[in-house]
Structure 1
Amino acid sequence: MTRITDLLGIEYPIFQGAMAQISTSQLARAVSEAGGLGIIASGGMTADQLREEINKTRAITKKPFAVNVMLMMTNCDEIVDVIIESNVKIITTGAGTPKKYMPGLKEAGVIVIPVVPSAKLAKKMEDLGADAVVAEGTEAGGHIGEVATMPLIAAVTKAVSIPVMAAGGFSDGRGLAAALALGAEGVQMGTVYLASTECPIPDSFKEKVVESIETSTVVTGRKNGAPVRTIRNTMTTKYLEMESHEVPREELEKLTMGSLRKAVVEGDVENGSLMAGQILGNISNIRSVAQIHEDILTEYRHISLPKL
C-alpha cells in the first residue's frame, strides 16, 4: 500500500505505539495479527523480561513485529543485545539517539525507525542511517514534543526522503487519509488501542478512555522540560498546583512515584498516570484490535473528498 508496508512486510500502514508497561506481547501480537505493526515497549523491562515477551509474541504470530528501545534506559546495551540475539528485525527508538548502536543493528539487518519531534532531528536520523522515522506531534499521549502533528508532518516529509509515519491524534480512517495527504506513509496510534479488548490494562482505565473527550487531557512537567500528556485526574490537578507554586522537582517526583503502575496495574484512575492523547474524544467504545483496523480501513476506503 505504501513504502512502509513494502519495507516491513506488513499489510496495513499502521503502527501500534510503544506504551510503557502496556505494549506487551499481548497487545503487540494482536496488532501484528490484524495486519499492522505490533511493537513491544521494552521500557522498564530487564533483558530476560524482553526475551520472554519476544518469545510470547512469536508463539502467537508469524507476522512482523518490533521492539521499542528507550535510549535513556540504563540497561540499553543489554536490551539491544537481546534484540539482535533474538533476531528481531524491526525496532523503533525514542528518548535519545541510536547512533551508538547503529553499526551493530545494521550488521544484524535490523530496520531502525526513530521517533522524532522535529524536522531537524528527523534529518539527523536519516543521515545516521535510519530506515524511516515516526514524527510524533504534541497531541499524542505520554512524553511529547511541542510541535502539533499537522505542521510537524508537513515539515518532516519535506526534510527527509525516507518514509515518515505520522503520530499524535490518529484513530480512524479520516486520520489515515489526512496523514497520507500530508506525505506520510502511514500512522502510529496508541490511545485508540487503550480501548481494545486485548490491551492489558484494568477496565477502569479503559472506561476512563471511553468516557473522556478531546479536552480531558492536561500536560504536566513543562516547566521541568519533560512534558507528559495524561488524562486529568486528582494526581494531575495536584501536580499542576504544585508546579505553579515552583515546588522543587524532587517533590514533584515524589508525587508521581509509581503513578504509571497505579494506572496500568492497579487501575487507580485518580492517582495513576493515565497517559493518553487528545484523540480521546473520537474513541467511544471498546473493540477488538481486528475491529479497530477493520473500521479504519472501511472508513478510509469510503472517504469522498469534494472537488475544488
Structure 2
Amino acid sequence: MNNVCEVIDSKVPVIQGGMAHTSDAPLAIAVSKGGGLGVIGAGAMTPEELRSEIRRARSEVDNFGVNLIANSKATRFPERLQVVVEEKPPVVTLGGISLDGVDAITTLKEAGVKAVLPVVSMVAMAKKCARAGADAIIAEGSEAGGHIGETTTMVLVPLVADAVDIPIIAAGGIVDGRGVVAAFALGAKGVQIGTRFICADECTVQQAVKDKLVKVGDRATVVTGQKIGLPVRSIKNSLTNEYNNLVDGATVEELQELEADKLYLAMQEGDVKNGSLMAGQGVALVHRTQPAAEIISEIWGEAMELAPSLTSIMI
C-alpha cells in the first residue's frame, strides 16, 4: 500500500487542497467519498463556522482534513487552532507555515490529530517541520494558485525528497495523470491538487468562477503581492491590472487595502473581473466541470495507464 494512503487513510494518494472561501464540507466530503482526501479550507472561517464544517464532514466520512494558515500574522489562527485541537479532525494541513507556526505541529499531534501535513515552499522549512513531528510534507511549487513561494515543483519536490525521511506530497501545477506520474518520478508519494477541484460540481464557489476557469489559456495567471511579501498567483483581470498599475507608487498599506476581501468577492459573489480569482498555472489544462469522484477516477486512471508505458518510451 502507498504510504501516503496509510497516512491519510485514502484509497488513492490524492489530496484536495484546502482553499479559503472555496473548499468547505460539501467538497471535502465528495472528494473523500471519491477515494481521495477532502480538505476543509479554514482560512476565512470563524471558529464557529469551522466547528460546524468539521462536524458536518465527520457525519458523512471518516477521513477528511482541515487546512489552517499556520502563521502568527494570520487572522484568528490561535482560535481556529483551538477548535481543531478540540474537534480532532483526522488530518490537518498547515499552509503558509512560518517559524512561529511550526509549534502547531506538536500541539496538534499531542491533541490526537492522526496526521499533520505542513505545506512548504523551501527545503529549510521542510526540515524544521520534519523534526517537529510532521507525518508527511506537502512540497508546493510556484505553479500553484494562491500564496506561493519561488521554486517550481520540478525543482522543489526532489530537493525536499532528498532532505527529509518522511513521505513527500507534490503540489503546484498538477491537474491530471501526467502530472501525477511526473510527481512520483520526482520523489513524491502523493499529490495535492487545488485548482481542478474548484471546478468540481460539489465546490460551492459561484458558477461564474468555474465558467471562467475552464475557458482560460496558458498565459492566464499572474503573480502579484511581491511588494508586501505575500506573492499570490491568480487569474489576470481588472484587479490584477489595477494592482500592477499602482504597485510602484503605492504604499504597502494601500496595496493591502486594494486586496482586502477580494477573494470573497470572486469566489462567493462571482465577480471574476474585480475579485481575486486565485488559481494555478495548471488551470489551462482544466476544460470542464465534473463531479469530484469523477475527477479523482480520471486522474488516477490516467496515471495508472501512463506509468507502465514510460519504459518503452525511454529506452
**Which band: TM-score by shorter chain?**
over 0.9
State TM-score, norm by structure 2.
0.94
* Local SS of the residue matching 1:218: strand
Identity %: 43
After superposition, what is the alpha-carbon deviation per residue over 1:256-276, rounded to whole angstroms, capped at 9, x for unaligned? 222111101110010000000
Q: How does 1:1-308 map to 2 (within 5 A)?
A: 1-61=1-61, 63-72=62-71, 73-95=74-96, 96-97=98-99, 98-110=101-113, 111-243=115-247, 245-303=248-306, 304-305=309-310, 306-308=313-315
* Local SS of the residue matching 1:211: coil
* Local SS of the residue matching 2:214: helix
For structure 1, list consecutive stretches of 5 or more residues without a partner in the other structure. none
Which amino acid is 1:156 matched to?
Answer: V
Task: Give the Å deviation of 1:86.
Answer: 1.5
Which amino acid is 1:170 matched to?
Answer: I
Distance, in Å, in 1 between the alignment partners of 2:107 and 2:269 is 38
Task: Give the Å deviation of 1:103.
Answer: 3.6
Shift in alpha-carbon separation, 1:214–1:107, aligned structure 2, 3 A:
same
Contact 2:141 2:149 in 1 (8 A): yes
For structure 2, list consecutive stretches of 5 or more residues without a partner in the other structure. none
State TM-score, norm by structure 1.
0.96
After superposition, what is the alpha-carbon deviation per residue over 1:16-67, rounded to whole angstroms, capped at 9, x for unaligned? 1111011110111111111111111111212111110011112222x31111
Which amino acid is 1:88 matched to?
Answer: P
Distance, in Å, in 2 between the alignment partners of 1:87 and 1:248 is 41
The structure 1 segments of at least 4 consecutive aligned residues displaced by more than 6 Å after TM superposition are none
Which amino acid is 1:262 matched to?
Answer: L
Shift in alpha-carbon separation, 1:139–1:290, aligned structure 2, 3 A:
same
| Aligned residues: CA RMSD | 1.3
How many residues get paired? 306
Which amino acid is 2:51 matched to?
Answer: R
Contact 2:105 2:129 in 1 (8 A): no
More deviation in 228-237 or 119-128?
Answer: 119-128
